[in-house]
């Protein structure tokens, strides 16, 4: 798969939604030890709404698909994480406005847009132990690849970067939310938000590597 069309983006959002539904209990359990324990519910409902919106949007403009999906997520999952990722989708949509095809360069723009939405809305930075810490490394890896690299090869690099970013959160001190109150207790445990971020990146990469529509 060398090019993604709007139908692929719709399918990818569906893939992310399916993964979040499958991992709902795991995310809630992980979040219970460091947060409110509802992360799995937020991710499952938020991505389900985003995926359904994309499916019924009747859009060929990838930017508009992402923006509409993000807007729907913001109302379906109005929690902190839901708001962050809704903003991420909408910002990514702005960066891809008018695009109907995505290659490796545009995938880089998408990931960079996700990061921009998170940083603007959450006022966080890499290293703050948030969802950004598994998405930012993926975006940076994508930037370095260039347009000549196939999407399939890019997927492997992007996933690896995201996985390393997630692993690195085990040594980071949280600055936001309930976890920040008991910061030292979370050392050695991967961040729940970054875990959700990795699941997003992994779902995108899995779809690209399969090379088929779902």
pLDDT digits (tens, 9 = 90+) for 170-199: 999 888 766 666 666 778 999 999 999 999
Sequence ranges of the domains in the chain: 4-208
**Per-residue confidence (pLDDT) for residue 183, from 0 to 100:** 64
pLDDT at 212 over 50: no
Q: Which value, to the nearest 10 degrees, does the dihedral of the CA atoms of residues 61, 66, 69, 73 take? A: -170
- Span 119-167, pLDDT tens digits: 999 999 999 999 999 999 999 999 999 878 999 999 999 999 999 999 9
> What is the helix (H) or strand (E) element at residue 1, kind and residue range?
none
**Per-residue confidence (pLDDT) for residue 96, from 0 to 100:** 97
- Span 99-118, pLDDT tens digits: 999 999 999 999 999 999 99
With cut-offs at 50, 70 and 90, classify the pLDDT of residue 60.
very high
Give the mean pLDDT of the chain: 93
**Per-residue confidence (pLDDT) for residue 178, from 0 to 100:** 65
**Per-residue confidence (pLDDT) for residue 174, from 0 to 100:** 83
Mean pLDDT of 73-82: 94
Quick one: which of 66, 17, 72 has its CA closest to 203?
A: 17
In the numeric block, which tokens belong to residue 170? 């085990």
Quick one: which of 162, 109, 154, 108 has its CA closest to 137?
A: 162
Mean pLDDT of 28-50: 92
**Per-residue confidence (pLDDT) for residue 214, from 0 to 100:** 39
What is the DSSP secondary-structure string of 81-150? HHHHHHHHHHHHHHHTTT--EE-HHHHHHHHHHHHHHHHHHH---TTSSSTHHHHHHHHHHHHHH-TTS-
Bridge partners for 102 per DSSP: 4
Q: What is the CATH number of domain 4-208?
A: 1.25.40.340
In the numeric block, which tokens belong to residue 11? 């399918």
């Amino acid at each position: 798969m060398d090019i993604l069309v709007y139908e692929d983006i719709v399918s990818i959002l569906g893939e992310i939604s399916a993964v979040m539904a499958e991992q709902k209990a795991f995310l809630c359990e992980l979040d219970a030890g460091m947060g409110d324990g509802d992360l799995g519910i937020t991710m499952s409902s938020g991505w389900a709404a985003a995926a359904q919106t994309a499916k019924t949007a009747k859009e060929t403009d990838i930017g508009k698909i992402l923006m509409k999906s993000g807007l729907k997520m913001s109302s379906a999952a109005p929690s902190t994480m839901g708001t962050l990722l809704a903003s991420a989708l909408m910002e990514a949509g702005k960066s891809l406005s008018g695009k109907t095809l995505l290659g490796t360069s545009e995938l880089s723009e998408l990931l960079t847009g996700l990061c921009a939405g998170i940083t603007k809305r959450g006022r966080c930075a890499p290293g703050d132990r948030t969802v950004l810490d598994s998405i930012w490394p993926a975006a940076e890896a994508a930037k370095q690849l260039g347009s000549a690299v196939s999407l399939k090869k890019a997927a492997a690099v992007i996933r690896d970067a995201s996985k390393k970013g997630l692993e690195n959160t085990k040594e980071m001190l949280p600055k936001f939310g309930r976890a920040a109150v008991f910061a030292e207790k979370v050392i050695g445990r991967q961040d729940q938000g970054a875990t959700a971020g990795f699941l997003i990146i992994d779902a995108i990469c899995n779809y690209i590597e399969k090379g088929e529509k779902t």
